[in-house]
């Protein structure tokens, strides 16, 4: 029988306890189902938090009828694209009552323009304690990072989540991985391929290590960190270069006798497939791939590579020859303790549809060509 390639003892449990982990996972499920949540910041009063995505005017009516002063929270990147000055804050807060239902409905969908000119908007207020973690929680649920919040009067029946747990969740839970399956999967172009699946403790989707051929795990291993791209990898979309990079990496590993392709569940540079499709719609109206992310309220690139480093650690790989044009991947692996002995360029010719995309990656993301 073939010897299992993976470390049978996955990462030791980290400091974040199971209660906190479960609390944040449930909170994300609530938000994704459109139910509000009680958010308890480390200091200051609790807030009722609802995603602005899916806004309907009854939400505003309810909050104002209770005599409260609801706020809209937007990330600084989104605010800047709308023409607001975030004044050094990472979150911008506006009075929802003064904005009114029409403007809120427009803000809920970044493809719409608010009806009033920005100059007529209410002045932005100091964001409440924990505002950044509230928006981080929405991002963790792959929702747009824009929220409607109102001071919590304690009588609402809803789930509570604590800011401290949200912060630790984002930092730790995604990189706690357990190996949950391993099998041979002969590929058309690489028959001796095995796949090892790793499940993250944050309830997110599994990452896959695709082991092509017989890589010598003790030396520098030809490795690719491939971010999931449903459209490019599976449908062979021409909007990007992911399909070529995926198949190209497997072909090269097969030719060189072995390699590891880490297939990372970080679709759309970490914003998720639905938000990537929204970003595409913005790109069809003239934005480039970087600005489109920011117009939605995300950072240009939301990916983290600690799970990739942890997979390599569990596989027993300490040194890699990394197939990439992205200097951030090299830096991130090195920062997580993996030695990158060489960067192997990984470019493919443009296809008539992705020229601007490739150009933006080189010009604005610093990709090396
Ligand atoms: N948000 C967003 N994600 C995109 C877009 N086009 C492709 N992606 C995602 O970008 C990821 C691939 O990243 P790339 O920037 O092509 O390449 P890279 O992985 O950073 O760098 P390389 O290693 O050189 O390929 C995949 O998760 C794709 O789904 C887009 O327009 N917007
Ligand atoms: Zn792609």
Residue 369 lies in a domain: no
Least confident of 7-11, 17-21, 87-91, 173-177: 7-11
Q: Is residue 285 part of a domain?
A: no
Residue 149: helix, strand or coil by DSSP?
A: strand
> CA-to-CA distance for 49 and 66, rounded, in angstroms?
15
Decide if 13 is inside a domain. no
**Atom 8 in ligand 1: residue holding the nearest Cα:** 268
Instruction: Tell me what the pLDDT averaged over the chain comes to.
Output: 93
Residue 43 φ/ψ, nearest 5 degrees: -135, 150
Contact 344, 323 (CB under 8 A): yes
From 170, 196, 231, give the residue that closes a domain: 170
Helices H, strands E: what count in the chain?
14, 13
Do 337 and 208 reside in the same domain of the chain? Answer: yes
Q: Whose CA is nearest to atom 4 of ligand 1?
A: 268
- Distance from C-alpha of 265 to C-alpha of 11, rounded to nearest angstrom: 19
Q: Ligand 1 test: best mutation among 224, 225, 226, 242, most atoms within 8 Å of CB?
A: 242
- CATH code (residue 235): 3.40.50.10990
**What average pLDDT does range 348-353 have in this prediction?**
97
Which residue's alpha carbon is at the smallest distance from atom 6 of ligand 1?
240
329 CA → ligand 1 middle, Å? 12
Residue 225's pLDDT is: 98
In a domain, 273, yes or no: no
Q: Is residue 278 part of a domain?
A: no
The set of protein residues with a Cβ atom below 6 angstroms from ligand 1 is 227-229, 240-242, 245, 266-269, 271, 276, 279, 289, 293, 324-326, 329, 346, 361, 367
Cα distance between residue 349 and residue 355, in whole Å: 9
Ligand nearest to the CA of 279: 1
Percentages helix, strand, coil for the chain (3-state, rounded to 5) are 40, 20, 40
Same domain, 235 and 114: no
Parallel/antiparallel/unpaired status of strands 47-51 and 146-151: antiparallel
Closest by Cα among 81, 50, 10 to 310: 10
Q: How many domains does the chain have?
A: 2
Taking only the tens place, the pLDDT of each residue in 225-271 is 999 999 999 999 999 999 999 999 999 999 999 999 999 999 999 99
Same domain, 65 and 95: yes
For 70-138, list the strands marked E by DSSP: 71-75, 91-95
Q: What is the pLDDT of residue 276?
A: 98
86 plus 140 within the same structural domain? yes
321 plus 341 within the same structural domain: yes
Near ion ligand 2, which residues have CB within 5 Å?
229, 232, 240, 242
In a domain, 11, yes or no: no
* Residues 318 and 239 both lie in one domain: yes
Among the three residues 170, 189, 215, which one is the final residue of a domain in this structure?
170
The string of pLDDT tens digits covering residues 137-171 is 999 999 999 999 999 977 778 999 999 999 999 78
Distance CA 144, CA 79 (A): 13
Question: Could you tell me the distance, in angstroms and rounded to a whole number, from the CA of residue 324 to the centre of ligand 1?
Answer: 12
Question: Are 135 and 245 within one domain?
Answer: no
CA of 125 to the centre of ligand 1 (A): 35
154 plus 216 within the same structural domain: no
Same domain, 343 and 240: yes
Q: Quick one: pLDDT at residue 15?
A: 58
Residue 296 lies inside a defined structural domain of this protein: no
Whether 93 and 186 map to the same domain: the answer is: no
Check whether residue 245 and residue 317 sit in a common domain: yes
The question of ipTM being above 0.90 is answered as: yes
CA distances from 187 to 184, 250, 323 (A): 9, 9, 20
Q: Residue 9 falls within a domain, yes or no?
A: no
Task: Note whether 212 and 218 are within 8 A (CB).
Answer: no
Taking the C-alpha atoms of residue 316 and residue 9, their distance in angstroms, rounded to an integer, is 12
More confident residue, 156 or 81: 81
**Does the pTM exceed 0.90?**
yes
Range of the domain at 42: 18-170
Instruction: Please give the positions annotated as active site.
Output: 301, 303
Please identify, among 148, 170, 192, the residue that sits at the C-terminal boundary of a domain.
170
Q: How far apart are CA 227 and CA 315, in angstroms?
A: 19
> What span, in angstroms and rounded, lies between the C-alpha atoms of 58 and 36?
13
Q: Which ligand is nearest to the CA of 238?
A: 2
Same domain, 262 and 182: yes
CATH code at position 88: 3.90.870.10
């Amino acid at each position: 029988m073939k010897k299992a390639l993976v470390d049978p003892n996955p990462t030791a449990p980290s400091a974040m306890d199971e209660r906190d982990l479960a609390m944040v996972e449930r909170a994300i499920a609530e938000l994704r189902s459109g139910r509000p949540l009680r958010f308890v910041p480390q200091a200051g009063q609790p807030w009722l938090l609802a995603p602005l995505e899916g806004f309907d005017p009854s939400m505003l009516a309810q909050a104002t009828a209770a005599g409260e002063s609801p706020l809209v929270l937007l990330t600084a990147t989104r605010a800047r694209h709308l023409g607001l000055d975030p004044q050094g804050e990472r979150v911008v807060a506006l009075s929802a009552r003064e904005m009114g239902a029409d403007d809120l409905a427009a803000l809920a969908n970044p493809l719409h323009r608010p009806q009033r000119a920005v100059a007529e908007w209410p002045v932005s207020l100091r964001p409440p304690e924990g505002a950044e973690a509230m928006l981080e929680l929405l991002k963790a649920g792959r929702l747009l990072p824009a929220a409607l919040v109102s001071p919590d009067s304690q009588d609402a029946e809803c789930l509570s989540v604590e800011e401290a747990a949200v912060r630790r969740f984002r930092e730790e839970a995604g990189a706690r991985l357990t190996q949950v399956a391993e099998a041979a999967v002969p590929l058309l172009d690489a028959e001796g391929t095995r796949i090892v699946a790793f499940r993250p403790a944050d309830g997110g989707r599994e990452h896959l290590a695709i082991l092509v051929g017989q890589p010598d795990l003790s030396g520098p291993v030809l490795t690719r960190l491939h971010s999931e791209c449903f459209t490019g990898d599976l449908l062979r979309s021409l909007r990007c270069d992911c399909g070529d990079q995926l198949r190209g990496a497997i072909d090269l590993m097969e030719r060189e006798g072995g390699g590891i392709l880490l297939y990372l569940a970080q679709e759309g540079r970490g914003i998720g497939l639905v938000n990537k499709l929204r970003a595409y719609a913005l790109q069809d109206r003239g934005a480039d791939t970087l600005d489109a992310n920011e117009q939605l309220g995300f950072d240009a690139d939301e990916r983290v590579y600690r799970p990739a480093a942890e997979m390599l650690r569990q596989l027993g790989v300490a040194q890699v020859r990394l197939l990439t044009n992205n200097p951030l991947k090299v830096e991130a692996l090195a920062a997580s303790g993996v030695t990158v002995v060489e960067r192997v360029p990984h470019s493919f010719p443009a296809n008539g549809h992705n020229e601007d995309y490739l150009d933006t990656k080189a010009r604005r993301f610093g990709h090396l060509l």
